[in-house]
Amino acid sequence: MAAYGHTQDHGHDDHHAHKPSGIMRWVASTNHKDIGTMYLWFSFAMFLVGGVMALIIRSELFQPGLQIVKPEFFNSMTTYHGLIMVFGAIMPAFVGFANWLIPMQIGAPDMAFPRMNNLSFWLLPPAALLLIAAQFAPGGGAGVGWTLYAPLSTQAGPAMDLTIFAIHILGMSSIMGSINIITTILNMRAPGMTMMKMPMFCWTWLITAYLLVAVMPVLAGAVTMTLTDRHFGTHFFNAAGGGDPVLYQHIFWFFGHPEVYIIAIPAFGVVSQVIPAFSRKPLFGYASMVYATSSIAILSFMVWAHHMYTAGMPVEAQLYFMYATVLIAVPTGVKVFNWVATMWKGSLTFETPMLFALGFLFLFTLGGFTGLVLSIVPVDVQLHDTYYVVAHFHYVMVAGALFSAFAGIYFWLPKWTGRMYNETLGKWHFWLSLVFFNVTFFVQHFLGLAGMPRRIPDYSLQFAEFNMISSIGAFGFGLSQLLFLYIVINCIRSGEKAAERQWEGADSLEWTHLPSPAPWHSFETPPVVK
Amino acid sequence: MEAAMTADRPRKATLFQVVRMLLWAFAGIRKREEHDKIEVKPVQVIIIGIIAGAVFVTTIVSVVLFITRG
């Protein structure tokens, strides 16, 4: 690992910490740490909103028959649960990490475009309000599924227009955030901080930012075509007018597959910081990790139609997408081996961040394997649109991205707040999350294999037991997250003082050069990295 | 060539080295020592990366066409 010289004078930084007070500190903020904090709190709020929607879904599915909600409302819940969790919770959470950490890890004073950074964040609350307001539009929320497939989306009520507008705004926010991250990493590294000395987290975000710039306009195009089909007489997705609804699926998934990696790659970055720190060893195969991540990013553009094997395509195309998808597992597998090799013969300790990172490693691998199962065309034809798919992507999104976000939050809370969280409660949070996550989602594999379709409010009697187990797990998982909220608030208010280098195995600049909590302005004079 | 190159700087990679590095990169593997010994320009990586990506797709398409022939 890189050796760092020139320890910074901490008093010097504190001297300049003239924070504006009151609400304007946040509204007009150009400070990367404040904006990062807002991103993280926003994403947690959205996580709770999306979580409540999930619990409405699981309540209805607790027993067969229609009990609690009407089918239209159920469809709306599945749609907005997906949209809010993907665009409102997971993506902003990792942008929050990026804002907090990238300038500190590369030795820069702030992001490259602080005012654009402010705009990137403040576009999110209006978009979230639009998604929530859509529930109250005439006819209720658009029950079209998070993929917003045509022709359902071209026929849905006014809620669809609010949703399209929300997606446009979220896309703008993501693109601006990405431009900021790319510019910061390429131009503002401290002297001596070469690209190949950067912490893995910065690398993963650089690659993710390029992915975002490449695919968010594609999504914007897809929903704009939906909008013009709805209101301006075009027929992009209308077969009667010479269009094709399958075109929508191709465009959406050309965005949608890289989107999976947009969510997963920053999660890889967080885990690549946490596992070495608690193994007290440098990351095994750092260079190969950089290259594997880049390869995954490039290959993610070439496999999109594995989401639509059953939509109707020639067998040649099915075979191409199947082979390409299977091959993409190779660089991902290399990453898993690298994390395992990092732990090999390390001095392991199992504090909460490490537990969540290990939970990630174990369960994300499982989610990857079910992905491989689904990539096989004849198998997917059976399992398409069943609960097997739901189980698969929740292993990737929840046990993958969310667990990694928890690992990162516990890991950096001491640096962000200057205080330690309660380790015992943190471990409780991990074990409760791990157990209830599996209770919720593992049984969904069986439901899918038995043929239960996704996005249905009612189901046949033979699915009753597993659905009941899954619903109990979902409520347990949801309640466990309130414990997380308590742990974080308790840490901020009354946690023990954290050390400058709380984790002795952590060796990136924010741990070696900055006090805890990190001062409001850091690295106004760049450190010299040897 | 650039006159500024000094003896202790890593030497420039040959085309073959960049191609070999990229093919290994598709599998996610690269020797750490190799990184210190040779200097690779980002432009080289991007151009050869795109060509390698095209070759990757073409190879799979050829295999598919071979299998579905007849």
Q: Exactly one of A257, A394, A419, A429 is catalytic; name it.
A: A257
Reduced to 3 states, what is the DSSP secondary structure of residue A453?
A: strand
Asked if the model's pLDDT at residue A10 lies above 70, the reply is: no
Query: Minimal Cα–Cα distance from B43 to chain A, Å?
Result: 15
B23 lies within 8 A of chain A by CB: no
Query: Which of A194, A195, A288 to substitute to test the interface with B, most B CBs within 10 Å?
Result: A288
Burial class of residue A470 (count of CB atoms within 10 Å of its CB; 0-12, 13-18, 19+): buried
* β-pairing verdict for B38-39 and B11-12: parallel
Please state, in angstroms and rounded to a whole number, the distance separating the CA atoms of residues B64 and B59: 9
Q: Exactly one of A32, A168, A230, A306 is catalytic; name it.
A: A306
Q: Tell me what the pLDDT averaged over chain A comes to.
A: 94
Phi, psi of A386 (to 5 degrees): -110, 175
Q: Could you tell me if residue B46 is inside a domain?
A: yes
Helix A352-375 / helix A245-279 crossing angle, nearest 10 deg: 150
CATH superfamily of A22-512: Cytochrome c oxidase-like, subunit I domain (1.20.210.10)
Q: Could you tell me if residue B3 is inside a domain?
A: no
Give the structural domain span for B29.
11-68
Q: Do A287 and B32 touch (CB under 8 A)?
A: yes
Kindly indicate the confidence band of residue B4, based on its pLDDT and cuts at 50, 70 and 90.
Answer: very low
Can A81 be counted among the known catalytic residues? yes
Please report the pLDDT score of residue B37 as a whole number: 66
Q: Could you tell me if residue B39 is inside a domain?
A: yes
Structural domain count, chain B: 1
Please report the pLDDT score of residue A329 as a whole number: 86
Query: Minimal Cα–Cα distance from B41 to chain A, Å?
Result: 12
Q: Could you tell me if residue B54 is inside a domain?
A: yes
Please state, in angstroms and rounded to a whole number, the distance separating the CA atoms of residues A47 and A402: 10
Task: Report the predicted TM-score, pTM, of the whole model to 2 decimal places.
Answer: 0.92
Query: Can you list the pairs that A74-77 forms with residues at least 24 positions away whose Cβ atoms lie under 8 Å?
Result: A74/A143, A74/A457, A75/A143, A75/A144, A75/A145, A75/A455, A75/A457, A76/A135, A76/A140, A76/A141, A76/A142, A76/A143, A76/A159, A77/A53, A77/A141
B63 contacts in chain A (CB < 8 Å): 323
CA distances to A47, A59, A446, A459, A466 from A462, rounded to whole Å, are 32, 18, 11, 8, 9
Please report the pLDDT score of residue B36 as a whole number: 60
Q: Could you tell me if residue B5 is inside a domain?
A: no
Domain range summary for chain A, segments of one domain joined by +: 22-512
A288 contacts in chain B (CB < 8 Å): 25, 28-30
Q: Do A331 and B27 touch (CB under 8 A)?
A: yes
Q: Could you tell me if residue B21 is inside a domain?
A: yes
Q: What is the ipTM of this complex?
A: 0.72
Please report the pLDDT score of residue A17 as a whole number: 57
Can A58 be counted among the known catalytic residues? no
Span A382-414, pLDDT tens digits: 999 999 999 999 999 999 999 999 999 999 999
For the ranges A82-91, A437-446, B1-10, which has the lowest average pLDDT?
A: B1-10
Span A304-335, pLDDT tens digits: 999 999 998 999 999 999 999 998 888 888 89
